[in-house]
Structure 1
Amino acid sequence: MTSQTLLAFDFGTKRIGAAVGQSITCTANILNTIPAKEGIPNWDTIEALLKEWQPDTVIVGLPLNMDGTENELCRRAKKFGNRIHGRFRVPVEMFDERLTTREAKELAWEEGHKGNYANDPVDSIAARLILESWWRQHPPTP
């Protein structure tokens, strides 16, 4: 089996969570959260991550409503994914990320997080959960 590296992003208008993982173990590790202004990241930071990890695919979380419908944040997350693809020519897949932020907060709380998400964000934990969920739905083939 050939190992694949994937980067995942949890898009947000103030912060973008990031995680990297590989297909041999289907696990992911959190990376530093990327600051954003109105959903616009420092593209040099994104480029540096792509150069460092050289992902085969980028997964961008799609924050659907609970009923499966799209919202404004979905449109912006898709735009973010399209820009990654357009600027860096890496394949990008959008992936349903409903409840990952809630799950990330629960995991952080269990590990002693005090609930101040502005100073100690959980966005990269959410990105890790997005990537791990993606692998559960797309298991690597031997």
Structure 2
Amino acid sequence: MKIMAVDYGDARTGMAVCDRTEFLASPVGQIEEKSMAKVAEKIIYASREIDVGMIVIGLPKNMDGTEGGRAEKTRKLAKLVELGVQVPIVFWDERRTTVTAAAQLTDAGTFGKKRKGKLDAVSASVILDSFLAWRKNHPGEQPT
């Protein structure tokens, strides 16, 4: 099934999608928007256009595993998205995904404005890669 991952941010929200075989995750773009309602609208629209069967939303946790204000905002966004889709929404721990995405962009020689324009979508791809690896090793299970 096609699965979309979302890396929600205050100014930019990245999105990534995997192929139907759940093998390859690819960034599909960023939403440059500060309004949570408009971000939710655009996620809903993209999920319908791409015809995804699940949405994975990166949940920002503190390094000790607790949830703070960012996680609360992310959960609010998920509730808005849930109102407009008929597919399951799953949260996935996104700790260190931006660091991993930045390293990938550095390795690819992407810097400056190009980097800023891709970082959140690549972060969403890192979230999705992690989720897909877990899913492959835990068939039929739901993440907690």
TM-score normalized by structure 1? 0.87
Consecutive unaligned residues in structure 1, runs of 5 or more: none
Give yes or no for contact 2:29–2:118 (8 Å, CA) kept in 1. no
Give yes or no for contact 2:27–2:124 (8 Å, CA) kept in 1. yes
Compute the displacement of 1:24 (Å): 1.6
Which residue of 101, 108, 128 maps to 1:104? 101
* Runs of 4+ residues deviating >4 angstroms: 115-119
Q: Flag the 1:99–1:119 CA change in 2: closer, same or farther, 3 A.
A: closer
CA distance in 2, matches of 1:6, 1:47: 13
Give yes or no for contact 2:5–2:125 (8 Å, CA) kept in 1. yes
Question: 1:36 — aligned with what?
Answer: 33
How many equivalent pairs are there? 139
Q: CA RMSD in A?
A: 2.2
CA distance in 1, matches of 2:92, 2:46: 20
CA distance in 1, matches of 2:33, 2:115: 13
CA distance in 1, matches of 2:115, 2:106: 14
Deviations 1:20-73 (A, max 9, x none): 113525211111101121544344432331221111110000010111010111
**Per residue, is there more helix in 1 or in 2?**
2
Consecutive unaligned residues in structure 2, runs of 5 or more: 140-144
CA distance in 2, matches of 1:119, 1:22: 25
TM-score normalized by structure 2? 0.85
Q: Flag the 1:15–1:40 CA change in 2: closer, same or farther, 3 A.
A: farther
Give yes or no for contact 1:15–1:39 (8 Å, CA) kept in 2. no
Question: 1:95 — aligned with what?
Answer: 92
SS at match of 1:112: coil
CA distance in 1, matches of 2:44, 2:117: 24
